[in-house]
Amino acid sequence: MVAKTSTTETAAPREEQEEPRRPGRPRSEQADHAIIKAALDLFAECGPAALCIEQVAARAGVGKATIYRRWPGKEDMLLDALPALAVVLPVPQGKSVRADLIALVDAVCKEAGDPRRARLVALLQGEGRNYPRLKAAYLDTVVRPRRDAIRSVLRRGVATGELRENTDIDAAMYLLNGAVVASMSGMHADVVDSRYGKRVVEELLRGLAAR
């Protein structure tokens, strides 16, 4: 008698655990920093129109592919570089409007004294119409925080009675901001000194201080 053959197939052994996926190569913070610095340096030297990825790669010591893995083009790269221009503003102490305004103006003027930063700001203001995304990002990341900080201190001064009740907050803010912008031009080096912020604030408060 012929033995009956079993029709049950033996299942192929299943792997107990799938091989984990290998993660992609992590981004190098050192490369990021080098690229951002190179991009801002070249932006200040030649402006956004003449800046190219090849120049940035050479200055940063990386390959073009390294940059293109991070950004599709130079404008996106510059958008990520702009926050590096933001000034670390001092936290208002809340004891004196005069002291807090002087601290804010001094901090911004100190950064504005950097020739590269002054050149970048001039380029962004002059060529912003050709690069609306860059100009909008500059306003959001660099200018608006500064304006908001000054407004906040001025409003507090009105609330505490240090400033007149009818103080025009926006006008006062633009006067202080204008003094900062003027310090960037380099045309008034004989006026912009270590006491510039104090002098500007004190002159403004002569008209705003409560009587």
pLDDT (tens digit per residue) in 109-148:
887 667 777 777 777 777 777 888 988 998 899 889 999 9
Residue 91 shares a structural domain with residue 66: no
Is residue 146 one of the residues assigned to a domain?
yes
Domain extent, residue 100, equals: 86-208
- For residue 73, the model assigns a pLDDT of 92
Sort 84 into a burial class: Cβ within 10 Å, 0-12 / 13-18 / 19+: middle
Residue 198 in this model has a pLDDT that exceeds 50: yes
In a domain, 4, yes or no: no
More confident site: 1 or 28: 28
- Give domain status of residue 20, yes or no: no
| CATH classification at residue 158 | 1.10.357.10
- Is 70 among the domain residues? yes
Round to whole Å and give the CA distance between 60 and 57.
Answer: 5
Indicate whether 3 belongs to any domain: no
| End residue of a domain, out of 39, 54, 80 | 80
Predicted confidence band of residue 171 (pLDDT cuts 50, 70, 90): very high
Are both 50 and 94 inside the same structural domain?
Answer: no
- The answer to whether residues 94 and 185 belong to one domain is yes
Report pLDDT digits (tens) over 26-59: 567 899 999 999 999 998 888 888 889 999 999 9
Whether the pLDDT of residue 14 is over 50: the answer is no
C-alpha 131/C-alpha 108 separation (Å) is: 24
Mean pLDDT score, 7-34: 55
User: Are 56 and 94 found together in one domain?
Assistant: no
Q: Confirm if 163 and 206 have CB atoms less than 8 A apart.
A: no
**CB-count burial class (<10 Å; 0-12, 13-18, 19+) for 51:** buried
**Do 108 and 76 share a structural domain?**
no
How far, in Å, CA of 48 to CA of 56, rounded?
A: 12
Q: What dihedral angle (degrees, nearest 10) is formed by the CA atoms of 138, 47, 132, 145?
A: 10
Residue 69 carries which DSSP code?
T
21: left (phi over 0), alpha (psi -120 to 50) or beta: beta
Within this chain, do residues 37 and 68 fall inside the same structural domain, yes or no?
Answer: yes
